[in-house]
Amino acid sequence: MLLLAGLGNPGDRYAKTRHNVGWMAIDAIARRWSFSPWRAKFQGLACEGQIDTAGGPVRATLLKPQGFYNESGRAVGEAARFFKISPAGVIVFHDEIDLAPGRFRMKTGGGAAGNNGIRSTIAAIGPDFRRARIGVGHPGDKALVQPHVLSEFHKADRVWLDPMLEAICDALPFAAAGDDERYQAEVLRLAPAPKADPRKAARDLD
């Protein structure tokens, strides 16, 4: 049994922002793998289904915490305790400013690196959960980080974002089987990161 959670903020105003790319990934997984309808549970929205792997189907619950981003750990912790899932069975999908747009990295354990949603999750279940880090780039100035992550993706970002979300879904059996290294490699193979910065490309189009 796995718990796959996405970090994000509730409400239409945040739906298309960089901070909500974790939710975007979870929504894409629910569609791709035909999970059950969403229902209110665990201080969030949850749905259930299975992921077919080479070793057989793996049951999973998807979770979108409905508290704000910085309080995501409350919902993750409640769901993990209910299902008696260890941190090794929890994968949190989230935006990562320390990765360039279009990069994807899997990581287990470690600190929060300034991400308050990850900090909240560490407080709830400890640090040893798995993180699916989706690069959204750094604005270049610490003071600009908050407006950067709370702003919507530029249309030029769709060049890498849509293929990445699809790859995250298609390669998911590797993560479900516990092979995070292969999962990371397959996502990047299916959705290579752009060679140019999408933000620069967008400026060039203006």
Q: What is the pLDDT of residues 138-180, one digit of tens each?
A: 999 999 999 999 999 999 999 999 999 999 999 999 999 999 9
Per-residue pLDDT of 103-125, as tens digits, reads 999 999 999 999 999 999 999 99
Evaluate if residue 203 carries a pLDDT over 90: no
Express as a percent the part of the chain with pLDDT over 90. 92
d(Cα 87, Cα 2) in Å, to the nearest integer? Answer: 10
| pLDDT at 194 (0 to 100) | 84
Read off the pLDDT of each residue in 88-103 and give the average, rounded to a whole number. Answer: 97
Evaluate if residue 206 carries a pLDDT over 50: no
What is the side-by-side strand order in the sheet with 90-96? 39-41, 44-53, 56-65, 2-6, 90-96, 130-135, 104-108
Give this prediction's pTM.
0.93
Active site residues: 19
- Say if residues 63 and 45 touch (Cβ distance below 8 Å): yes
- Say if residues 39 and 47 touch (Cβ distance below 8 Å): yes
Q: Which phi and psi angles does 12 have, rounded to 5°?
A: -60, -30
What is the set of domains in the chain, with CATH numbers?
2-205 (3.40.50.1470)
